[in-house]
Amino acid sequence: MIAAIRVFGYSLFAIFIGLLFMGIGRKIIARIQLRLGPPFYQAFLDVGKLFARKSITHNFVMDLGMIMSLAGLLSTMLFVPVAGHMAIKTSSNLILIIYLMAIGHLGMAMAAAASGNPNATIGVSRALTMMLGYEIPFFTVMLGLIIFNGTSSLELIAQSQAGGILNWNMVKFPLGFLAAEIALQAIMGEKPFDAMVAPAEIASGPMVELGGKYLGLAFLTHAVSIFVETGIMVNLFMGGASNVFTFVLKQFEIYLITILIEAVFPRFRIEQAVKFLWTVPMSIAVVQLAIILL
Amino acid sequence: MEDLKANDKRSYIDNLIDFFRKRSIWMLHYCTGCGAVELPPSMTSRWDIERFGIVPMATPRQADVLLVTGYVSLKTLKRIIKIYEQMPEPKWVLAFGSCTVNGGIYWDSYNTITNLAEYIPVDITVSGCMPRPEAVIDALQTLMEMIQSGEGGAYKKYKENYEYYKKNQDRVLRKTAPILGSSETESIYQEKEGNYET
Amino acid sequence: MKLDKESIIELLNQKGVEVLDLYPNQISVNIKKDNLLNHLVFLRSIGFDHLSFINAVDFIDEGEFELVYHVWSYTHKIHVLNKVRISRNNPVIPTIVNLWEQAQFYEQEIHEFFGIIFEGNKDLSPLFLENWVDIPPLRKDFDTKEFSVRLFGAEIRR
């Protein structure tokens, strides 16, 4: 019972932080473009409105897919240590986290395929192609860190960086951090790697048939994915945190970098994106791995 | 009067939901005619309608407001009706300029409709030819007030009076007989047409 | 080999068509319906390789349609207007799709808006109008004002 309440509380916390980040991100982009921008709580208003709307479903698989994508990311979130705390006591295995993260994408793929819209199918196929692109450099960086620390536990990797900014992996392995940051841009689906959404081109890709509550679920999924992905980066490279407030602040720093890149870049075509991910961050990551091994 | 009565019955939950709806209007601008040019300036830094939470959306499923930005030809009307029916409720329609009210300068054209409100329910019409971004923002703010006070329910009218709208739509879209009656040239044309119809 | 305007007029006069000299780089030719294809083939053979447009004019008082074939030459820099008159009661003319492929769309459009039939064109389906049952709308005897009032309920205010 206690565990269930903890899981629920952690989920609410992750959703709250993710939505807050989304709102602040929109505000920052607006300020970069010399606009006033929406209020920082805009994402909450959007989600509230979406859940109050009528929604159109196409079949049972679409409902299941949407819930699966949210549940997949929420269960990933349970394994990410938040300033040393976790919803359920596990070893927070990095390999497990990466595999669980794919469930979110697969759920979205299921829902999109079930909606029967060709734009959604194109978007999902692009998202899965992009996954192929960013996973290889990201895994290479993680492999280096796992070899260096001798463990694949995210919590232990975070603990090993304790004691000042000079112990952070970000400072010790700047090349690895750079490669992971580029890959993170693609993981979050922000520009220049947002070919799977591309509103002007394929009408927001996987989300094309989602309206009302389904789009609300997609928003929540995106919020949790922001929380999870920034959380992984903080634990890997910024040494975790001693309390939750610091942790969220560090997460926001990671998110800020992503948003700043997002605000000023145009979009890669999908084959350009994969080519880029397999050359530039990949070679940086290999150099980093070589440095660690030698 | 009906609106006032409806207002009495509104609970806190309704007010909260309407607040959400009011502060997060997502619009689908179906760019017909010349009004499409007025929307980019109202979205970019000079007028910036995103500060009210108004964002352009890519598909009718995600949108709350349909913007019809100018004259509507028969071919376009067919698509507009399809788009309008695809949008989930609650939904609102904003008609731009005089073209959507009385046909504007295209009032005597053989292929553009004169009054959009006969075919789909229109919540707000913006005056002007074309309305400037200030007028667009004013209309959207009026819409926000209408939503908060629970007035903007033209989509309910579409369900209640579906026969009326359907009749009007069919009259212009599914013509079976010539409108102006038969003449000599027409009968010749029809004959020749018959020969070449595949 | 670049021909100047005078020699083109000379060539066309030898063929027995009347030529009007309009502007420094534009001439107008009146031809008969039967002679149309021969004439256009001849023009093409002397280097007029581009069909810019076909347009139709409704001369309702004379009971005739006038079709104007705009032909341009990139070598001679001359624009030739080939005008053909056909009867309004029997608006039939041979197609020139085999000569210039792009004529397909012009012919389709003219068929749609004037009801002129291009013999030999296999696809005269409507391009712009959907479900049109009246007489073609750009004919002069089609009253768009009356049409708009009756179908769309347009108001006439004086």
Model confidence pLDDT, tens digit, residues C110-157: 988 888 888 888 888 888 888 888 788 888 888 888 888 878 877 766
**Residue B2 or C73, more confident:** C73
For the domain that residue B120 is a member of, what is the CATH number? 3.40.50.12280
Among 3.30.160.340, 3.30.460.80, 2.60.40.10, 1.20.1250.20, name the CATH number for the domain at C3-150: 3.30.460.80
Strands (DSSP E) contained in chain C are 18-23, 26-31, 50-59, 64-72, 79-87, 92-94, 117-119
pLDDT band of residue B27 (cuts 50, 70, 90) is confident
Q: How does DSSP classify residue C61?
A: T
Identity of the residue numbered C128: F
Spatial distance between the Cα atoms of A179 and A181, rounded to a whole number of angstroms = 5
Domains in chain A, number: 1
Give the pLDDT mean for B146-152.
79
> Residues near C68 by Cβ (< 8 Å), separated by ≥ 6?
C54, C55, C56, C57, C81, C82, C83, C84
Percent of residues, chain A, with pLDDT higher than 90: 5
Q: Report the mean per-residue pLDDT for chain B.
A: 80
pLDDT tens sequence across A77-125: 888 888 777 777 777 688 888 888 888 888 888 888 888 788 888 888 8
Spell out which residues of chain B touch residue A208, defining contact as CB-CB under 8 Å.
Answer: 58-59, 61
Residue A27 φ then ψ, to 5°:
-65, -45
**Residue C154 DSSP one-character state:** P
Residue of A65 and A86 predicted with greater confidence: A65
Residue type, A203: A
Name every chain A residue with its beta carbon within 8 A of the beta carbon of B45.
Answer: 33-35
In a domain, B147, yes or no: yes
Average pLDDT over residues A150-162: 81
User: CB of C145 within 8 Å of any CB in chain B?
Assistant: yes
Give Cβ neighbours of residue C6 (< 8 Å, ≥ 6 apart): none
Which pLDDT belongs to residue A24?
92
Higher confidence at residue A204 or residue C83?
C83
Kind plus residue range of the DSSP H or E element containing A290: helix A270-293
Q: Which of A48-52, B101-105, C76-80 has the lowest mean pLDDT?
A: B101-105
Best probe of the B interface among A53, A204, A210, by most B CBs < 10 A, is A53
Quote the pLDDT of residue B8: 58
* B195 in any annotated domain: no
Amino acid at C9: I
Q: How far apart are CA A221 and CA C100, in angstroms?
A: 56
3-class state of residue C137 by DSSP: coil
> Does residue A217 carry a pLDDT above 80?
yes
Which letter, b or e, does each residue of A56-74 get, where b requires 16 or more Cβ atoms within 10 Å of its Cβ? bbeeeebbebbebbbbbbb
Token readout for B124 is: 């707000």
C47 touches chain B (CB under 8 A): no
Sheet holding B26-30, edge to edge: B55-56, B26-30, B65-68, B92-96, B124-126
Interface A-B: count of C-beta contacts within 8 A = 81
Give the domain range for residue B48: 10-189
- Residue B196's pLDDT is 40
**Of the ranges A169-173, A198-202, B14-18, C24-28, which is most confident?**
C24-28
Q: Which amino acid, one-letter code, is at C76?
A: H
Q: Is residue B42 part of a domain?
A: yes
How many CA atoms does the CB half-sphere of A272 hold within 13 Å?
A: 9
Q: Are C65 and C114 in contact (CB under 8 A)?
A: yes
Give the total number of structural domains in chain B. 1
* pLDDT number for residue B187: 47
B178-192 confidence digits (pLDDT tens) = 777 655 444 444 444
Distance between CA A184 and CA A254 in Å, rounded?
9
Instruction: Please tell me the predicted confidence (pLDDT) of residue B32.
Output: 80
Query: In whole angstroms, what is the distance from residue C14 CA to residue C12 CA?
Result: 5
User: Packing angle between helix A42-51 and helix B12-23, nearest 10 degrees?
Assistant: 120
Q: Measured between CB atoms, which of B53, B62, B88 is closest to A207?
A: B62
- Please tell me the least confidently modeled range out of A12-21, B10-19, B21-30, B189-198: B189-198
Regarding predicted confidence, which is higher, A244 or B1?
A244
Interface test with B, best of A27, A28, A33, A35 (most B CBs within 10 A): A35
Encoded tokens for A97: 């986290």
Are C71 and C54 in contact by the 8 Å Cβ rule? The answer is: no
pLDDT for position A158: 80
For helices A270-293 and A174-187, what crossing angle results, to 10°? 150
How many Å apart are CA C127 and CA C92, to the nearest integer? 19
Mean of the per-residue pLDDT values of chain A: 85
* Average pLDDT over all residues of chain C: 85
What are A124-147's pLDDT values in tens digits? 888 888 888 888 898 888 888 888
Largest pairwise CA distance in chain A:
59
Q: Which residues pair with C59 in a beta bridge?
A: C64
pLDDT value for B6: 52
How high is the pLDDT of residue C133?
80
User: Hey, which chains touch A, using 3+ CB pairs under 8 Å?
Assistant: B
- Using DSSP, state whether A191 is helix, strand or coil: coil
* pLDDT at residue number A9: 86
Give residue A113's domain range: 2-293
Interchain CB contact of C13 with B (< 8 Å): no
CB B134 within 8 A of CB C113: no
How far apart CA A233 and CA A231 sit, in angstroms, is 5
In chain C, where the domains are located: 3-150
Residue A72 to residue A110: CA distance in whole angstroms:
13
| pLDDT at residue C157, as a whole number | 62
- In chain A, which residues have their Cβ closer than 8 Å to the Cβ of B16? 48
Separation between Cα atoms, residue B49 and residue B26, nearest integer Å: 11
User: Quick check: B164 contacting C, CB < 8 Å?
Assistant: no
Nearest to C64 by CA among C54, C72, C74, C56: C56
For A161-254, where are the E strands, in sequence order? none
- Does residue B79 fall inside a structural domain? yes
Report d(CA A101, CA A91) in Å as an integer: 17
Region of residue A246 (left: phi > 0; alpha: psi -120 to 50; beta: else): alpha
User: Is the model's pLDDT at A32 over the cut of 50?
Assistant: yes
- Res. B197 pLDDT band, cuts 50 70 90: very low
pLDDT of amino acid C68: 92
Give CA separation, A225 vs A97, A130, A137, A218, in Å: 12, 16, 19, 10
